[in-house]
Amino acid sequence: MSLMSFGCCTRFKMTPEELEQRYKSQEIDKLIEKDKQVLKRQVKLLLLGAGESGKSTFLKQMRIIHGIKFEQDLIREYQQIIYQNVVRGMKVLVDARDKLAIPWGDTSNVAVGLELLHFNNNQIIDVNRFTQFVPMLKKLWSDNGIRRAYERRREFQLSDSVEFFLNNIERISRSDYMPTNKDILHCRKATKGITEFVIPINTVPFLFVDVGGQRSQRQKWFSCFDSVTSILFLVSSSEFDQVLLEDRKTNRLEESRDIFDTIINNRIFSSVSIILFMNKYDLLVRKVANPETDIRWYFPQFTGNSHSIKDVQSFILAIFTGVKRDPKKQLYHHFTTAVDTENIKVVFNSVKDTILNRNLETLMLQ
C-alpha cells in the first residue's frame, strides 16, 4: 500500500463521535431547508384598520372557525375583561346621562349612579366583586334616563359590546359563569403592540398579524410590512356618525378612509392583494333603520335614500374604493359582522381561495 493511499484511507475514516456529529449536522441542514420551504409557503395576513374596527374579533373568529380552543388562562382573563367592560360601560352611561342633562327615570338612582362613578377603572374585578355590582347594574339599566343616554351613544365614547353584556347580566353574574365563544367575541380590549397567530389551513400555515389601530399604535405597523401575502383592511361601516376617541372631533369613517388611502396606494403593497372588510354590518342596518339617524347630517354629499341599506352601503363602499389610484390594482370587498361566526366562516372561505391562489402565483414567480 502506497503512502498516498494510506493517507486517503486515514483521512476518510471517522470515529463514531464524528459520524454522529456529521449526522446531526446533516439533520440540522435538512430542518433549516424545511423551514425555508415552510416560510416560502407561509401565507402572511396583515390585519389593518382604525381602532375598534374589529381586527381582534376577526382573529378570535379564525381560532373558533378552525377549532383552536381558547386556553383556560385566556378564558379567565376574558372573564375579568367582560366584568370590566360592563362596569366601565355603565359608568360611561351614568356620566353621559349627567352631561347630556337627561333626567333620571327613577330619582332613587341618583345615589346608585354616584356610587358607581367612584369605581376605579384600573381595578381588577373578580366574580365576587362583580356580584356586588350586579344589583346596581340591573337597576340602572332599567332606568329610562340611562336608556335615553344609550340611544344617544354616538355623542360619546361607548363600546359596542355594552348592550350585549347588560342584556345577559343574569347569565354572566352567575357564580359558575365561564365566557362562551360569543361572549369572547363581544369582549373588548384595545390591542397594544403586535399579536401573531399561526393557523394551518389546507396544510398551509396562515400567519395572522394583528396590530393596534389607535393612532398611537400605528407606527408599529411598518415593522410588519415585510413578506406580506394579503392585507385584510377592516372598516367599522356603522361609524359614519361617530368621532374618534383620540381627538373627539374627527369622523371615524373619514379617519378609516384616510388610513386606507395610505395603504392601497403604497408602492410597497403593489403586488399584495388587499381585501376590504366593511365590518359591523349588523349595526349599520340598525342605524340606517333608525328614524332619528340620517347619514346626510355627516356626509351632505350623500344623495340616496338615507334609510335604504342598499343606498347607504353603496355610498360608504364608494368612499373607500374611490381613493384607489391604480385602476389595475385589484380590490376585493365584503360586508361583514365580525361577531357572527357563520358570516365570517362564509366570507373567509371565499377570501381564502383568493389568498391561496395569490400565494401560489407568488411562489411560481420565485
250 vs 122, residue with greater confidence: 250
Enumerate residues 6+ apart whose C-beta is below 8 A from 86: 130, 133, 137, 162, 165, 166, 169, 172
* Catalytically annotated residue among 42, 131, 157, 214: 214
Whether 217 sits among the annotated catalytic residues: the reply is no
Superfamily of structural domain 72-186: GI Alpha 1, domain 2-like (1.10.400.10)
Q: Where are the domains of the chain?
A: 48-68+210-355, 72-186
pLDDT in tens, 267-307: 888 888 899 999 999 999 999 999 999 999 999 999 999 99
Whether 57 sits among the annotated catalytic residues: the reply is yes
State the Cα–Cα distance between residues 177 and 165, nearest whole angstrom.
13
Which pLDDT score, from 0 to 100, does residue 31 have?
Answer: 64
pLDDT in tens, 129-168: 999 999 999 999 999 999 999 999 999 999 999 999 999 9
- Does residue 181 carry a pLDDT above 50? yes
Whether 155 sits among the annotated catalytic residues: the reply is no
Which pLDDT score, from 0 to 100, does residue 287 have?
Answer: 95
* Catalytically annotated residue among 52, 160, 239, 255: 52
* Catalytically annotated residue among 210, 239, 241, 255: 210
Whether 76 sits among the annotated catalytic residues: the reply is no
* Catalytically annotated residue among 57, 84, 191, 337: 57
- Written as nine digits, the cell of 61 is 373568529
Structural contact between residues 50 and 213, judged by C-beta atoms closer than 8 angstroms? yes
Whether 252 sits among the annotated catalytic residues: the reply is no
pLDDT in tens, 11-24: 456 677 777 777 77
Which pLDDT score, from 0 to 100, does residue 30 have?
Answer: 65
Which pLDDT score, from 0 to 100, does residue 17 have?
Answer: 73
- Does residue 321 carry a pLDDT above 80? yes
* Catalytically annotated residue among 88, 153, 154, 188: 188
The mean per-residue pLDDT over the stretch 66-82 comes to 95
Torsion sign across C-alpha atoms 102, 105, 111, 113:
negative
The residue type at 73: D
Superfamily of structural domain 48-68+210-355: P-loop containing nucleotide triphosphate hydrolases (3.40.50.300)
